[in-house]
Amino acid sequence: NAVWISPFYQSPGNDGGYDISDYRVIQKEFGTMADFKEMLGAMHASGIKVIVDFVPNHTSTEHTWFKEARKSRDNPYRDFYIWADKPLNDWVACCESAWKYDDVAGQYYLHCFDPTQADLNWENPRVREEMKAVLDFWIDLGVDGFRCDVIDMISKDWENNRVNKGPHLHEYIKELFGREKCAHIFTVGECWGANVTNIRNLTGED
């Protein structure tokens, strides 16, 4: 009685659509927003719920936020990502360092997956607001739930040298999904080393 649709958003396609360059635009190969609305309406008319992928840990380096962030250290979007003058640790991604030097930015940025997928800085409140706005956009369109990609990586555990399960993980999840707007929304999270967790448990709901 439900379908889960993997990423169909605008993307260069370096990681099966998980490298998103615009969270609100349909990748042209998959159709248009009108097509999506028609599909959603048809599924709902048949009693089928629709779950879509939510990718909060990283964006494509083709995303407008990253393009802006590269321009200068005082750019308003610079702190949307995690930058350093030198690698802060020995984390590895795709068989290479998870820190990639960007010639334009003059610093290294963190990418826990492909180098074209820059990790977002969830310690920045503006990032969290943008992610809530993404959720609200799709909720307002009528989707019934979200499968949350590597949700436990939105909070890094710098002290214990782990890419996931940082000290603010539950806090961020509650900020995302503990809102009245999300009360009727199905949520499931992909978590490293913990199989799958129901996000409802982390928001203190039944």
Active-site residue (options: 149, 171, 180, 205): 149
Residue 119 DSSP code? E
Determine the Cα–Cα distance for residues 197 and 203; give it in Å rounded to an integer. Answer: 12
Determine the Cα–Cα distance for residues 135 and 172; give it in Å rounded to an integer. Answer: 14
Active-site residue (options: 123, 130, 157, 190): 190
190 is catalytic: yes
Give me the torsion for CA of 77, 78, 80, 82, rounded to 10°: 170
96 is catalytic: no
The separation between CA 106 and the C-alpha centre of its own chain, rounded to angstroms, equals 25
Environment class of residue 30 by beta-carbon count within 10 Å: exposed (0-12), middle (13-18) or buried (19+)?
A: middle
Return the structure tokens found at 95: 């068989």
C-alpha distances in angstroms, 110 versus 117, 138, 143?
9, 28, 31
Catalytic residues: 149, 190
